[in-house]
Structure 1
Amino acid sequence: MTKPSATAKQTEEAYESRENWPPYTYRDYPDIKAETYESFMKFLDTENTSGRLMELQPWVSVCDSRCAFCYFPTTASSKVQIGPYLELLKKELGMYAKTKYVKTSYFDEIVLGGGTPSVLGAEQIIDLIDYCKANFNTSKEYFIKVTGSSKTLALPKIKKLAEYGVYQMDMGAQTFDDKLRKAMCLPDSAKDVEEAIKYARKLGLVVCADIMYNLPGQTMESWETTLQKAIELDAEVDCYSLHVDPGTNLEKMIKNGQSPPQGDAEYEKQMFMKAHEMLTKAGYTAVGHDRYSRVEWHMRENCLNGWPWGGILTTGAGCFMGYLQKFSYSNLEDINAYMETVKSGKLPISRLSESTMDDMMRRTMSRLYLRLPVSKKEFKEKFNTTPEKVFPKQIEKLKAEGLLETDENEVRLTKKGELWKGNIAWEFAPQAKA
């Protein structure tokens, strides 16, 4: 049984540890200012000429229980009046739908996120998606995704959603080790998760299972078993390294000695490499942030491939993935404050960033973190210059270390760079991490 421990640092390693988060995420957005909000509203009054398809995300940031590691701004379902919340969520969606920008936009994905939106009844989920379909332009080929857990996705509910036309279930599996599930306060058993995934696949749904590595006390053997189970269940995989955020129950448990610590940086890296090896050997392709998929649609999702010029229109209390070209935003986390703000007729944004041209060039280079190439032609069209002219030192350094390669068309990761994609993205940040 392998235990978390330091191992000898390989001389060919480019960095001491892997960065799992890139720059320009919701963690970096400033608090909203009146002038930025005004600028955003003016932007929404313009036509969308980007030519990019977008993703629509209504969030139901409600859960029936809280996992030990969870840092998401969620509210217990017992403390929320779901009906009034859904009506105000529709009102927020409607405020965006009436803008010129959104009226001239097309969406190829409707993603019900959260939280655990599967706490809703099937009829409530269908009603919310129907509202989105009636008020937003969808492309000829569009897909509906619903996030959930096996505890709140009873088999009859899965069947109703499949019959309605839901394409994909995003399932928070995390681990198939019941000992770890109990330690992380996960609400269901590994068998429950397995049964839900099997049933959804039997109905023809794509299932994307979230699984996590470097959980406290997680052995390499346990991690390999979870990976193998996901492969056997014919699920696509979102493969995340656990980050213990300040203020979470898990952080308190580790400090109080109620939980063992995580493995060190080297152990975490070995777990990533094991996942990459097993999943690619099983026929999966590494896509986007942390996904491994065999679904052709995942390779061409516009919300991913359009970065940073496309858009994710995110709504609901606590949502934090919103971006519309140079604007990035997150909403009020407190569900009551969210509801009161929407009632007043104002967009419930709490953090809002307006990127400068310099920011947009740097964000374009963060496509590398998404395992996407940077097109020199598009860079020239957008900025009237080339990546090499703007970032000569960074590109030369990364090429010399074997992490990037370039040709006349693009800048892209090498096979070695795949391991360090987060670190590579930080090389192009205003203040690169050491």
Structure 2
Amino acid sequence: MHNTLNPVLANQPKLTALPPLSLYIHFPWCEKKCPYCDFNSHQIKDVRSNSDKNKSPGFDEERYIKALIADLETELPRIWGRQVHSIFIGGGTPSLLSANGMNELLSAIRARVNLEPDCEITMEANPGSVEAEKFAGFANAGINRVSLGIQSFQDAQLKALGRIHNGEEAKRAIEIALEHFKSVNLDLMFGLPNQTLDAARSDIETALSFKTPHLSFYNLTLEPNTYFANFPPKLPNEDEIDAIFEQNLALLEGAGYRRYEISAYARKDQECKHNLNYWRFGDYIGIGAGAHGKISFPDKITRQVRERHPEAYMQAMESKGNALIEAKEVSAKDLPFEFMLNTLRLTDGVDTITFSERTGLPLNTVSRGLDAACKKGLLDLNPNKLKATKQGLRYLNNLQEMFL
């Protein structure tokens, strides 16, 4: 069993070493806002109307990149001397950037930040914005991993999800990505409107036929403040969703993919470094509209949030030299929940010692939660691991809430 001492909250964390550091860059524009999406994304106009393939109409690329670079520079004093081991460019639809714009951005980052030699640099892309010429340019700029928002290969499902691509475009996008990038991830959803067991199987089998090294497979949920929350479609019931999940989990495992996180599957040694750093409670600089960041120091852990709307973000960078709307030190009271919120998503969990290494707090801070979770069968009994059981992964929200 885990340590059962009474919890004692330290006045402040004391970290003996700083965790790995990543960089997240948010690109806030999309061609179309999906009805299920609650991310910070803003629809742009006339993106396909410009004949110049090197430009991205509908947003001011040059101005936004300039703001991103200035934003990064504000963070340099806080991370001086530390290496960045992964970069993730998310959105929105970052593949709407021009290849030249991407090259300018990554060149500016390399000039200011010490990147690890094998730094993983991921860009999210939607199949509807994929062009072979642009992907070649992104690869030349330094992108070495692409995450494609496929969601489904079936036209009826894609239409129901408000996606701008069809099934054939999705397949062609994967083929182009595999030609240009070292690693490719496919995002797939299940529990879609009126989805059957056979339809879900077809999606996974099509995805597996491309043999990409990584797949994300997650359940469609109706998030607050989205179109679907206000006008919910007919979704499969809980038993049907469970059947889809179990069927497709067996297909994924049978094809050599290991579930290493609640919604992530990878072939051997192909896990996403960037997301692993989040889930292991690592540090990350967050730049761009609405971006969040987490930076640790020997005696504290801090979080930041930027202006959410792209225009407000750019104006703030131009007029004030920063776009922060929140910058705070995470309290010792909140650190245990934040740690567990991330690490319990990993199917292998983390070594028990990681709690103290990443929070700077003694493990007995969470002893009551650990013992309660073990007694309910949600947490592994191994005293050297913080790891959810199969039941704990199934009821992950309940497990995480035990550390609030």
Fold match, TM over 0.5?
A: yes
Instruction: Kindly indicate whether residue 186 of structure 2 is the aligned counterpart of residue 215 of structure 1.
Output: no
Q: Is the 8 A contact 1:361 1:383 kept in 2?
A: no
User: How far apart, in 2, do the equivalents of 1:275 and 1:329 lie?
Assistant: 38
Report what 1:237 is aligned to. Answer: 215
Kept in 1: contact 2:222–2:228 (CA 8 A): yes
Return the offset for 1:181: 0.6
The SS at the match of 2:17 is coil
| Unpaired stretches in structure 1, ≥5 consecutive residues | 1-47, 255-259, 430-434
Q: Which residue number in structure 1 is paired with residue 265 of structure 2?
A: 292
Residues 3-14 of structure 1 aligned to structure 2 (within 5 Å): none
Q: CA deviation at 1:176?
A: 1.0
Q: Which of 197, 218, 224 is matched with 2:201 structurally?
A: 224
SS, match of residue 140 in structure 1:
strand
Deviation at 1:173, TM superposition (A): 0.5
In structure 2, relative to structure 1, the CA distance for the partners of 1:85 and 1:202 (3 Å cut) is closer
Partner residue, 1:29: none
Query: CA offsets per residue over residues 97-154 of structure 1, 9 Å max, x none?
Result: 2x1x222221111222111011111111111111111111111321211111122120
String of CA shifts for 1:313-335, please: whole Å, max 9, x gaps. 11111224x22232233322211
User: What is residue 269 of structure 1 aligned with on the other side?
Assistant: 242
TM-score (norm 1): 0.78
- 2:295 maps to which of 319, 324, 327: 324
Can you list the C-alpha shifts for 1:312-366, whole angstroms capped at 9, x where unaligned?
A: 211111224x222322333222111111111123432334453222322233333
- Shift of the 290–354 alpha-carbon distance from structure 1 to 2, 3 Å rule, reads farther
Paired with 2:89 and 2:354, the residues of 1 have a C-alpha distance of: 31
* SS in structure 2 of the partner of residue 151 of structure 1: helix
Q: Which residue of 2 aligns with 1:354?
A: 329
Equivalent residues in 2 for 1:78-89, closer than 5 Å? 78=45, 79-89=58-68
SS at match of 2:117: strand
Q: CA contact under 8 A between 2:279 and 2:345: conserved in structure 1?
A: no
The equivalent residue for 1:176 is 153
Distance between the aligned counterparts of 2:211 and 2:288, measured in 1? 32
Question: What SS does the aligned partner of 2:207 have?
Answer: helix
Q: Matched residues, percent identical?
A: 22
- Structure 1 residues 94 and 414: alpha-carbon distance in aligned structure 2, compared to 1, 3 A threshold: same
Which runs of no fewer than 5 residues in structure 2 stay unpaired? 1-14, 46-57
Distance 2:43 2:181 in 1: 31
Instruction: Give a deviation string over 1:25-70, Cα, whole Å, max 9, x none.
Output: xxxxxxxxxxxxxxxxxxxxxxx97343211122211111222212
Deviation of 1:204 after TM superposition, in Å, equals: 4.7
SS at 1:413 equivalent:
coil
Is the 2:369–2:403 contact (alpha carbons within 8 Å) kept by the matching residues of 1? yes
Residue 205 (structure 1) shift: 2.9
| Alpha-carbon separation, structure 2, partners of 1:303 and 1:353 | 23
Distance in 2 (CA, whole Å) between partners of 1:384 and 1:95 is 29
CA 1:399 to 1:54, structure 2 compared with 1: closer, same or farther past 3 Å? same
Give the drift of 1:198.
1.6
Residue 94 of structure 1: how far off its partner (Å): 1.7
User: RMSD of aligned C-alpha atoms?
Assistant: 2.5
- Cα separation, 1, equivalents of 2:274 and 2:92: 23
1:156 Cα deviation (Å)? 1.4
Length-normalised TM-score, structure 2: 0.83
CA distance in 1, matches of 2:256, 2:322: 44
Q: How does 1:178-197 map to 2 (within 5 A)?
A: 178-197=155-174
Instruction: Note the alpha carbon deviations across 1:369-405, whole angstroms, 9 max, x for none.
Output: 233534333445665633xx44444333433343322
Match of 2:373 among 366, 378, 398: 398
The one-letter code of the counterpart of 1:317 is A
Q: Does 1:251 align with 2:229?
A: yes
Contact 2:120 2:144 in 1 (8 A): yes
Structure-2 separation of matches of 1:66 and 1:72: 10
* Contact persistence 2:190–2:220 (CA under 8 A): yes
Give, in whole Å, the separation in 2 of the partners of 1:298 and 1:371: 12
> Which secondary structure state, in structure 2, belongs to the residue aligned with residue 68 of structure 1?
coil
* 2:152 counterpart letter in structure 1: T
- Between the aligned partners of 2:123 and 2:181, the Cα distance in structure 1 is 14
How many residue pairs are counted as aligned between the two chains?
A: 371
Distance 1:405 1:95 in 2: 42
Match of 1:67 in 2: 34
Instruction: Name the SS for the 1:298 alignment partner.
Output: coil
- Partner of residue 74, structure 2: 95
Q: What is the alpha-carbon distance in structure 1 between the residues aligned to residue 132 and residue 22 of structure 2? A: 27
Taking the aligned partners of 1:352 and 1:287, their CA distance within structure 2 comes to: 32
Q: What is the match of residue 400 of structure 2?
A: 425
Deviation for aligned residue 1:424: 1.5
Deviation at 1:202, TM superposition (A): 3.3
